[in-house]
């Protein structure tokens, strides 16, 4: 047995088989915790403050000019009550996308931490899972803060609505995270992120029903909006928060988000495996 | 299942690696090599950039799938037992992959956790290894503030955190100054004494001569020769070399005039190399023929000469 220097115990830890997906992620806990400790301060503004600024500017100040009956606001009694669920779902998407674009590129290209990690018993699958788990944690913390802060303003029709909406925002965020992860693991240059942000994120953010009912788009664009995953997330979050749940529509929303998540997860893992094998 | 009957730490038969480059053309990086690395030895891959050394190393590190042929590391097939193999390997990559934003100690600590080593044990090992690579005083420094040599030593410390049986070093001293290289070589000697099997790629012949018990000379994806540094020099070169520098442009013409003075003459852009058992004797005869080189040097043959002989090219362009 080769033993390097003496002092600490000579115990040798060996893996004789693949790690389970769970252990693969747990072993990276210390790494991600350290990453979080050094980045949480700078992420406070983007993850907590700016969503609330949106609520203030769009919901309260701009919303003050909007006087529509609940029938035209998908059942919301005010524009603020209409826009908050939309913004919560949209920020889940944005947080998820931010955590799976530059961080993935960095781990592959700039600080190459994926390559360093791959020299251990961890596999590409484990690296993807851990980064996605961290993304889930980030989405969960921003969504939770959002929902808790908005609760006293009377925008939720029931207490259980936002409680059920919370996992929906996680599902919405992760349905995007897996696909942006796959995209980031595929592209060679960070210049390609412009595509995601300009052609994906911003149009989705503006036209997927966060700010206005998509019935205002006209029949063709409304049909297009209904295909986007964000609309499914926004719609389900809003139905729950406003206590206007259409059971069959809710099932479709969940089904679409889960399908997008499961397929995307697989694509993300495969893409990273291929990239790291090169 | 792991094959424990074989004493070979690494064995490869007809090992190949090809991949598609950016334009879609297939690159054959490794074109069928046979190697066997034994327990406790320092084994080298010597060759110029692009010889296929790094591709071979990545296959041995069980991160790059084998295209064809057979590869066994610690008796196991990397396609089947990648994680098990990697838990027993240490890898020091060519490019530093340290986390620049973490301090020195945390780089080791976090890495040890990937191997499932308990927290207390990793902390003890990390401090111990920092002493071993002479970075104890830098324990709490940010990696960014370290010199190139220190970063490389930290990478080596990191690669030892799991007490590996085989340590893979890809171009360990490229880019380091001479003093930093010697410090690093010294540490590698100590590891070898402790029984760690070393596998080293290098394009520096002096590094190969210093560190390797046995090596293969690689060129364009194939093995051109194999043996100990001394065996290779004996088999493929003469004892001494006389280097003759003439005015620029005269080398080809002059080579003909001295071609009978040694076993062989190599013409390089800036000098002639005359291979002979007695270099001083060659110089005397050169002067006796009325030739007046600008500068002369008599030296022992090195692996550089072996490489030149085998491939017709120099190692470092």
Write out pLDDT tens, residues A3-48.
454 444 456 678 878 899 999 999 999 999 988 988 888 888 777 7
List CB contacts (< 8 A) between B2 and chain A: 16
Write down the pLDDT at residue A10.
53
Task: Tell me how far apart the 2 most distant CA atoms of chain A are, in Å.
Answer: 78
Q: Among B239, B237, B243, B238, which Cα is nearest to B283's? A: B243
Q: Are B191 and B167 in contact (CB under 8 A)?
A: yes
Q: Are A149 and A52 in contact (CB under 8 A)?
A: yes
Write down the pLDDT at residue B74.
95
Residues B163, B107: Cα–Cα separation, whole Å: 16
Interface test with B, best of A20, A42, A107, A121 (most B CBs within 10 A): A121
State whether residue A12 sits within 8 Å of chain B by CB.
yes
Write down the pLDDT at residue A35.
87
List CB contacts (< 8 A) between B194 and chain A: 2-5
Pairing of strands B272-276, B264-267: antiparallel
How far is CA B280 from its chain centroid? 32
Contact A3 B114 (CB under 8 A): no
State whether residue A278 sits within 8 Å of chain B by CB.
yes
- Over 50: is that where the pLDDT of A159 sits? yes
* Residues contacting A143, CB < 8 A, separation 6+: A88, A91, A92, A166, A169, A170, A173
Write down the pLDDT at residue B253.
85
Residues A191, B5: Cα–Cα separation, whole Å: 52
Q: Are B75 and B2 in contact (CB under 8 A)?
A: yes
Residues A242, A79: Cα–Cα separation, whole Å: 12
Q: Are B15 and B70 in contact (CB under 8 A)?
A: yes
Residues B14, A241: Cα–Cα separation, whole Å: 64
Residues B237, B303: Cα–Cα separation, whole Å: 9
List CB contacts (< 8 A) between B110 and chain A: 30-31, 34
Contact B163 A7 (CB under 8 A): no
Q: Among B185, B219, B188, which Cα is nearest to B303's? A: B219
Strands (E), A56-169: none
What's the gap in Å between the CA of B227 and the closest CA on chain A?
Answer: 25
Instruction: Considering chain B, tell me which residue range(s) the CATH 3.40.50.300 domain(s) occupy.
Output: 8-228
Interface A:B, Cβ pairs < 8 A: 125
Residue B143 has what DSSP assignment? G
Instruction: Considering chain B, tell me which residue range(s) the CATH 3.30.70.980 domain(s) occupy.
Output: 238-300
The label of the residue with tokens 């390559």 reads: A115
Q: Which residue has the higher pLDDT, B87 or A111?
A: B87
Least CB-CB distance to A30: which of B110, B121, B196?
B110
**In 10 A of CB B292, how many CB atoms?**
11
Write down the pLDDT at residue B23.
83
Express each pLDDT in B173-216 by its tens digit.
888 888 888 988 999 999 999 999 999 998 888 889 889 999 99
Least CB-CB distance to A18: which of B83, B111, B124?
B83
Tokens of B97: 């992959």
Least CB-CB distance to B63: which of A14, A38, A119?
A119
Contact B115 A113 (CB under 8 A): no
State whether residue A42 sits within 8 Å of chain B by CB.
no
CATH architecture classification, B238-300: 2-Layer Sandwich (3.30)
A 186-245 residues inside an 8 A Cβ radius of B: none
Q: B8-228 belongs to which homologous superfamily? A: P-loop containing nucleotide triphosphate hydrolases (3.40.50.300)
Interface test with B, best of A8, A11, A18, A109 (most B CBs within 10 A): A8
What's the gap in Å between the CA of A266 and the closest CA on chain B?
Answer: 20
Contact A121 B125 (CB under 8 A): no
State whether residue A270 sits within 8 Å of chain B by CB.
no
- Over 70: is that where the pLDDT of A130 sits? yes
Q: How far is CA A41 from CA A37, A45, A47, B110, B265, in A?
A: 8, 8, 10, 21, 67
* Residues contacting B1, CB < 8 A, separation 6+: none
Tokens of B25: 């053309």
State whether residue A115 sits within 8 Å of chain B by CB.
yes
Residues A250, A236: Cα–Cα separation, whole Å: 6
State whether residue A31 sits within 8 Å of chain B by CB.
yes
Contact B87 A121 (CB under 8 A): yes
**Residue A241 region by backbone torsions, left for phi larger than 0, else alpha for psi between -120 and 50, else beta:** alpha
Pairing of strands B26-38, B8-20: antiparallel
Angle formed at CA A10 by CA A127 and CA B163, multiple of 5 degrees: 40
How far is CA A1 from its chain centroid? 46
* DSSP-H helix ranges across B171-300: 178-193, 205-211, 229-236, 251-258, 279-288
Residue segments in chain B with a per-residue pLDDT below the cut of 70: 1-6, 315-317
Contact A278 B19 (CB under 8 A): yes
Q: How far is CA A232 from CA A132, A178, B70, B310, in A?
A: 21, 16, 50, 67
Residues B15, A114: Cα–Cα separation, whole Å: 26
Residues B303, B201: Cα–Cα separation, whole Å: 14
What mean pLDDT is predicted for residues A210-222?
92
């Amino acid at each position: 047995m080769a033993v390097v220097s003496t002092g600490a115990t000579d115990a040798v830890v060996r893996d004789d088989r693949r790690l389970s997906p769970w252990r693969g992620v747990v072993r990276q806990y210390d790494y991600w915790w350290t990453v979080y400790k050094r980045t949480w301060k700078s992420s406070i503004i983007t993850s907590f403050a700016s969503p609330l600024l949106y609520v203030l500017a769009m919901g309260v100040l701009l919303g003050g000019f909007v006087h529509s009956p609940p029938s035209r606001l998908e059942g919301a009694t005010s524009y603020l009550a209409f826009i908050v669920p939309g913004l919560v779902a949209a920020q889940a998407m944005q947080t998820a996308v931010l955590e799976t674009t530059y961080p993935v590129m960095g781990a592959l290209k700039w600080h190459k931490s994926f390559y360093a990690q791959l020299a251990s018993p961890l596999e590409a699958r484990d690296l993807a899972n851990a980064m996605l788990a961290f993304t889930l944690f980030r989405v969960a913390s921003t969504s939770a803060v959002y929902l808790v802060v908005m609760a006293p303003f009377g925008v939720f029709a029931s207490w259980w609505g936002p409680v059920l909406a919370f996992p929906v925002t996680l599902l919405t965020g992760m349905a995007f995270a897996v696909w942006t992860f796959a995209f980031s693991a595929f592209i060679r240059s960070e210049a390609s992120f412009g595509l995601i942000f300009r052609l994906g994120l911003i149009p989705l953010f503006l036209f997927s029903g966060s700010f206005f009912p998509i019935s205002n788009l006209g029949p063709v664009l409304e049909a297009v909006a209904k295909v986007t995953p964000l609309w499914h997330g926004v719609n389900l979050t809003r139905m729950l928060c406003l206590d206007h749940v259409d059971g069959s529509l809710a099932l479709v929303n969940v089904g679409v988000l889960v399908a997008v998540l499961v397929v995307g997860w697989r694509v993300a893992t495969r893409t990273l495996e291929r990239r790291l094998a090169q | 299942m792991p094959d424990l009957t074989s004493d070979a730490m690494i064995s490869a038969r007809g090992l190949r690696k090809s991949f598609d480059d950016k334009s879609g053309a297939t690159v054959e990086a490794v074109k069928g090599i046979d190697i066997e690395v034994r327990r406790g030895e320092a084994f080298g891959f010597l060759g110029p950039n692009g010889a296929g050394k790094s591709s071979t190393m990545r296959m041995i590190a069980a991160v790059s799938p084998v295209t064809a042929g057979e590869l066994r590391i610690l008796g196991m097939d990397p396609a089947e037992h990648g994680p098990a193999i990697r838990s027993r390997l240490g890898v020091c990559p060519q490019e530093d992959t340290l986390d620049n934003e973490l301090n020195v100690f945390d780089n080791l600590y976090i890495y040890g956790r990937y191997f499932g080593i308990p927290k207390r044990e990793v902390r003890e090992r990390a401090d111990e290894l920092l002493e071993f690579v002479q970075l104890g005083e830098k324990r709490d420094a940010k990696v960014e503030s370290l010199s190139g040599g220190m970063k490389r030593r930290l990478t080596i410390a990191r690669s030892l955190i799991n007490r590996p049986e085989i340590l893979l070093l890809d171009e360990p001293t490229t880019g380091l100054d001479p003093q930093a290289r010697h410090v690093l070589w010294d540490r590698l000697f100590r590891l070898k004494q402790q029984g760690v099997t070393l596998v080293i790629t290098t394009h520096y012949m002096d590094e190969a001569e210093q560190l390797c018990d046995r090596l293969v000379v690689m060129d364009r994806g194939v093995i051109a020769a194999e043996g100990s540094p001394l065996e290779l020099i004996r088999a493929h070169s003469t004892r001494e070399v006389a280097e003759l520098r003439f005015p620029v442009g005269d080398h080809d013409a002059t080579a003909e005039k001295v071609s009978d003075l040694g076993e062989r003459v190599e013409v390089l852009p800036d000098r002639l190399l005359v291979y002979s058992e007695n270099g001083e004797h060659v110089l005397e005869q050169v002067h006796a023929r009325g030739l007046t080189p600008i500068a002369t040097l008599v030296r022992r043959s090195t692996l550089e000469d072996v490489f030149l002989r085998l491939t017709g090219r120099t190692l470092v362009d």
